[in-house]
Amino acid sequence: MAKCKICGGYTKYTNGYCLKCYKIKEEMKKTPLIKNITKKEEKARAKATPQARKIHDALRTKEVPSFLELWDKHKHIDVAIPKYGINIEVDGEYHNTRPKQALADLKRTYYSYKKGFFTLRIPNSLVEKHFEECVDLIIEIVNLNKNKE
Ligand SMILES: [Zn+2]
């Protein structure tokens, strides 16, 4: 058994990638505008959810300097735009239906905001149903923060 060149997990495939990372690599070919993906970013892609990757790729394509799975010393942020102080958390349904999770999320939002990072919570359902509008609005918010510079 060989190790996957991206995530380090074991793979039975001879190309050096596990099935998940191979699919993510193939998916990258559909977004040719994203250049200079580092090894570190490739690893981050493997950890991100498809919805987070979709948002990240759309932002990058529009030249917003976004990063997947960025570490803020407490947890990994799904999609981060550190230059403009914006964190994006792409959430599954349980974030809304479980009060304990919702409270933990609100606390994180508070601590991030104290450090100057505004958190946007985007439910998966929004990515799936109103993707274009969702990305356009994120870019509007980024632009508002750009003007503060
Ligand atoms: Zn892998």
Which protein residues have their CB within 5 A of the ion that is ligand 1?
4, 6-7, 9, 18, 21
Residues 26 and 39 in one domain: no
Residue 6 Cα to ligand 1 midpoint, Å, equals 5
Residue with tokens 């104290």: 114
Residues 21 and 58 in one domain: no
List pLDDT tens digits, range 104-144: 999 999 999 999 999 999 999 999 999 999 999 999 999 99
- Residues 24 and 61: their CA atoms lie apart, in Å, by 17
Residue 109 Cα to ligand 1 midpoint, Å, equals 31
- The helix-helix angle for 19-28 and 39-47 (nearest 10°) equals 110
More confident residue, 94 or 5: 5
Residue 7 Cα to ligand 1 midpoint, Å, equals 4
**Displacement of CA 127 from its chain's centroid (Å):** 12
Residues 108 and 138 in one domain: yes
Residue 103 has pLDDT above 70, yes or no: yes
Least reliable range by pLDDT among 22-26, 56-60, 121-125, 135-139: 22-26
Looking at the structure of the chain, the number of domains it has is: 2
Q: Taking a C-beta distance cutoff of 8 angstroms, is the pair 38, 48 a contact?
A: no
Name the residue range of residue 18's domain.
1-30
Residues 7 and 80 in one domain: no
Residue 119 Cα to ligand 1 midpoint, Å, equals 29
The whole-number average pLDDT for the span 37-50 is: 88
Residues 70 and 134 in one domain: yes
Residue 22 Cα to ligand 1 midpoint, Å, equals 7
Q: Is 148 helix (H, G, I), strand (E, B) or coil?
A: coil
Residue 114 Cα to ligand 1 midpoint, Å, equals 36
Residues 45 and 9 in one domain: no
Q: What is the pTM of this model?
A: 0.85
